[in-house]
Structure formats: structure tokens, C-alpha cells
Amino acid sequence: MTVIADNKRRVVLPMASPGDRFDVIVEGERRILTRLEPARPVFSKGKLSRDARTGLLKWTGDVGEDDADAVIRNRAHDK
């Protein structure tokens, strides 16, 4: 299959659906796309509360992280 990039460097993948996520690996002149699993909603473990001193809302607890995002960040860190 051959696809052509437009003037904004966009490529349409006929087999992709809206919202699909891909990991791009660049090896010299080659680009390898790997479809990632759909992002699962991440429910954080924490709570939103109002700071008694300032009156501002603040988040306390774990923010949570998507597994795919962690893999991409680790791969970038390893380079």
C-alpha cells in the first residue's frame, strides 16, 4: 500500500478509525507505526478540596497515568 503526505505532512491511513492511536518508531529512513490499545479512562485516586487559607481549589492525591503514555515517555527517556 502506498500513501502520500500532503503539504502539511499528513497521511491518511485507510485502515485507521477516528481516534486510533499509533506509536511511531523512526529507524533511519523507515517509519514504523504500531497501533496502540484504546486509551482507557483513568480514574484518579485523590480528591478536590478547598484550601482553607487561600480559598482556592487544590488537588490532593494521585493524578494517574495512561499505560501507553508511560511507555512512550520511557522510550523517549531511554534514547
Answer for the pair 5, 12: CB distance below 8 angstroms, yes or no. no
Q: Please give the mean pLDDT across all residues of the chain.
A: 81
Counting the structural domains of the chain, the total is 1
Q: Which residues pair with 33 in a beta bridge?
A: 24
Helix, strand or coil, per DSSP, at residue 75: helix
Q: Tell me, yes or no, whether 31 lies in a domain.
A: no
Q: Tell me, yes or no, whether 19 lies in a domain.
A: no
Q: Tell me, yes or no, whether 48 lies in a domain.
A: yes
pLDDT for residue 48: 82
Kindly tell me if the per-residue pLDDT of 7 is higher than 90: yes
Residues 37 and 30: their CA atoms lie apart, in Å, by: 23
Verdict on whether the full-model pTM lies above 0.75: no
Kindly tell me if the per-residue pLDDT of 14 is higher than 60: yes
Amino acid, res. 27: E
Domain that holds residue 62: 43-79
